[in-house]
Structure 1
C-alpha cells in the first residue's frame, strides 16, 4: 500500500512539473487589494487593522518579476495602561521569484497556459519575494508615566519624531492564481500574500527600545495583465 501511495505521489508531482503554467504571459501587471495588519512592537498587538495596497510589476520572465508596491494602513497596540496607533504610509521596490522559474517549461508560455491544469497553475505561481522601501509614521500614543519611566530606565526613549520616514525591508510569500484564458494566456489573477516588514529604527509605536519593531500584513488582491509579450 505504501509503495502504491509513493508511486502515485511521484506520478502526480511529475505531471505538475511537466505542465507548469505562468502567472501571465504578458510583460506588465497591475494589482490592488486589502487585508489586515498586526503590529509586533513594544506594546502588544491590539487586533488586526485594515490596510490596502496598489502595485505594478514587470515580468522579466512569466515567473520572475520586479515591481513597485504602495501601501496605506494602521497599526495599533496597547499594554501597561498605554496605547499607540500608527496610520502609516509605505512604499517599496521588490522582486519575486516563483516555483515555475525552476521547472522545465516551453518558451511558448501562451501555448502552455491553454493546456495546463489548475493545480499546475497554482503550484507554479507560489513565490517568495524581498524588497527595500520607506515607511512614513503618523503615530498617536497615550503613555502611562510609570511605563515611560521604565522605558527610560532601561536606556530606551520616547520618540520625538512621530511623523518621520524610515527604511524598511519587506519580505513576502504568496501565490498568484491565474484565471481567464485567452490566446495569449491568462489575463487575471487572484493574489494571496503575506508580507512581513522589518524596520531599522524601532519606531512603529513611538517607543525606541532594544528590539526592532516589525509588522505583518495578510492580504487578498486582484491582478490584471497588460499588453502582449513580443
Structure 2
C-alpha cells in the first residue's frame, strides 16, 4: 500500500508539473478605447477604436496574428483651426502583427517582479486602412479670417492606405481551474502610421501647408482574450 501511494503521488505531481508547462496555441479577443489623430490638420481630436484579434502563439510569449479595427478618427475645428479645416473619418483596418513578450527573453522563475511583468510586450505590424471621410471642410466659410471662400481643399473622401502599427502593451494572464493560462486581460497603446493622404482627407501641396510626415493616430485600448486550441509544451514553468 505504501509503495502504491508513493507511486500515485509521484504521478499526480508529475502530471501537475506537466500541465503547468503547457499552453494553448491560439487565442481570440476583442476590446476598445480611445484614439487621437496627428495629421496635416493643425490639431487632432479624440475618437474611438474597437477591435477584434486572433493570435497564434508560437510560444506563450511570442505571437503572430490578425487584428481588425473599426473606429472614428477626427481632427481640426472649422472655427478655431488656422485654415478652418476639420474632418471625421469612419475607418476600418486589418493588420498582421507579431508581438514579443518579456517572458520569452528573461528568466522570470527566479524573480517575483519579473514573473509579474512577463506579459509586457512590444509589437510591429503591417496592413491596410480603409478611410471613409464622412464630414470634412472642403471650402473655407464666408466668415473666415483669411481667404474666405477659398477651396476646394484637395483630397478624396474614400481611400485605401498602407498602415504600420507599433504596439506597446501588457498581458495579464489568468489560469483556469486546471492550471492552464486560459484568459488574458490586455492593455495596449498603439501608434498607427498611415502612408498616403487618406486619414484626414486632405492632400494639400507642401508648398502651402506643412505636410512632411505620415498621418498617425494613436489608440489606447483595454481588451479581453480567450486561449484555445491544441496544447503545446513550453520549456519554462508557466
- TM-score, scaled relative to structure 1: 0.75
Give yes or no for contact 1:38–1:45 (8 Å, CA) kept in 2: no
Deviations 1:72-105 (A, max 9, x none): 0001111232210000001000100001111237
**Residue of structure 2 equivalent to 1:201:** 196
Q: Matches of 2:172 and 2:182 in 1, distance apart? A: 11
**Segments of 4+ moved more than 3 angstroms:** 44-47, 119-122, 143-150
Structure 2: which 5+ residue stretches go unaligned? Answer: 1-19, 141-146, 205-210, 233-238
Q: How has the CA–CA distance of structure 1 residues 46 and 198 changed in structure 2, closer, same or farther, with 3 Å as cutoff?
A: closer
**Residue of structure 1 equivalent to 2:99:** 96
Structure 1: which 5+ residue stretches go unaligned? Answer: 1-21, 106-111
Give yes or no for contact 1:122–1:178 (8 Å, CA) kept in 2: no
Question: Which of the two has higher C-alpha Rg?
Answer: 2
Q: Matches of 2:148 and 2:120 in 1, distance apart? A: 44
**Residue of structure 1 equivalent to 2:72:** 74
Q: CA RMSD in A?
A: 2.6
- Quote the offset at 1:167 in angstroms: 0.6
Higher helix share: 1
Number of aligned residues: 193
Give yes or no for contact 1:128–1:172 (8 Å, CA) kept in 2: yes
Q: How has the CA–CA distance of structure 1 residues 44 and 101 changed in structure 2, closer, same or farther, with 3 Å as cutoff?
A: same
Question: What SS does the corresponding residue of 2:129 show, helix, strand or coil?
Answer: strand
Q: How has the CA–CA distance of structure 1 residues 143 and 178 changed in structure 2, closer, same or farther, with 3 Å as cutoff?
A: same
Question: What SS does the corresponding residue of 1:100 show, helix, strand or coil?
Answer: helix
- TM-score, scaled relative to structure 2: 0.73
